[in-house]
Structures are given as C-alpha cells and as structure tokens.
C-alpha cells in the first residue's frame, strides 16, 4: 500500500480494524469455552471502536478539505 496522504493511511487503518474485528468474531463463533468466547467478542468490540474512531477522523479530514472549497465556491458565486 502506498501511503501518499492521510486519507490513504486512514483508509488502510479502517480496513485493518475491520479485518481484525471479523477475525475475532469468526473465532468467537467456534470457541467452546465461554470465557474465551467472551474474550474474543470483547476484542472484536474493541476493534470496532477503533474502526469508528478512524471513520470519525476520516470525516473530519474530509470536512477540513471541503470547507475551504465550499467557502471559495460561495465567494465565486457558484
């Protein structure tokens, strides 16, 4: 993966967090011991939190890029 900008780094992070959560969830479904099953579910939940955090950062980054453009367009009458 080529990390030329912040968007690429965040997108990569989101995908990896999703993959990790899916991994833990899949493994929790086959785990027979309840304490291990719960641990895997908890880990999946943590990965989902990380994914949401990165999605929020991605949205902030996009907003930071769009706001000056929108202001410019408003100024130009477009």
- The residue extents of the domains of the chain are 6-76
Task: Give yes or no for residue 70 having a pLDDT over 80.
Answer: no
pLDDT tier for residue 1 given thresholds of 50, 70 and 90: low
What own/partner pairs with CB < 8 Å and gap ≥ 24 does 41-50 have? Answer: 44/20, 45/21, 47/17, 47/18, 47/20, 47/21, 48/17, 48/21, 50/13, 50/17
Task: Give yes or no for residue 78 having a pLDDT over 70.
Answer: no
pLDDT tens, residue by residue, 15-67: 999 999 999 999 999 999 999 999 999 999 999 999 999 999 999 888 777 77
């Amino acid at each position: 993966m080529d990390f030329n900008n912040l968007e690429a780094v965040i997108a990569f992070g989101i995908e990896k967090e999703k993959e990790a959560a899916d991994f833990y969830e899949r493994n929790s479904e086959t785990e027979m011991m309840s304490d291990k099953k719960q641990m895997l579910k908890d880990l999946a939940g943590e990965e989902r939190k990380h994914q949401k955090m990165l999605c929020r950062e991605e949205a902030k980054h996009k907003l930071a890029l769009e706001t000056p453009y929108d202001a410019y367009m408003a100024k130009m009458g477009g």
